[in-house]
């Protein structure tokens, strides 16, 4: 077990990583979710940074739509992820995600869960 901790002193475990992966896998095309939103859904409110660390370690073979996970302001991931912000933006635009004039995602239109039922278990 790693000895990393969440803000709430919950250890980062393989179970947390699996929960994050499961949530990310369900983000639909044309939608994005924030790191904090995923942390909350995984049962660890306040662990947005830890979700970012999990996203940075996702193995390519998992085929998770990590490009759909963004900052709460709609800012794209740092340049080291996805081959750079331009690549992430292209991937999102191909799914119909629109951007504001300042380059941020239009979160009012594309944040997963806005006006939708969020559930992992039907």
Tens digit of each residue's pLDDT (9 = 90 or more) over 1-59: 333 444 455 567 899 999 999 999 999 999 999 999 999 999 999 999 899 889 988 98
- The set of catalytic residues is 66
DSSP letters of 64-88?
--GGGEE-TTSPPPPTTSTTSHHHH
What global pTM score does this model have? 0.83
């Amino acid at each position: 077990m790693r000895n990393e901790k969440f803000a709430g002193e919950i250890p980062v475990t393989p179970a947390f990583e699996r929960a994050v992966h499961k949530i990310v896998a369900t983000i639909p095309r044309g939608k994005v979710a924030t790191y904090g939103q995923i942390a909350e859904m995984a049962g660890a409110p306040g662990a947005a940074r830890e979700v970012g660390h999990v996203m940075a370690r996702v193995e390519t073979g998992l085929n998770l739509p990590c490009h759909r996970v963004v900052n709460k302001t709609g800012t794209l991931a740092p340049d080291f992820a996805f081959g750079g912000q331009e690549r992430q933006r292209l991937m999102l635009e191909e799914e119909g995600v629109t951007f504001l004039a300042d380059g941020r995602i239009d979160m009012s239109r594309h944040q997963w869960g806005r006006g939708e039922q969020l559930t992992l278990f039907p």
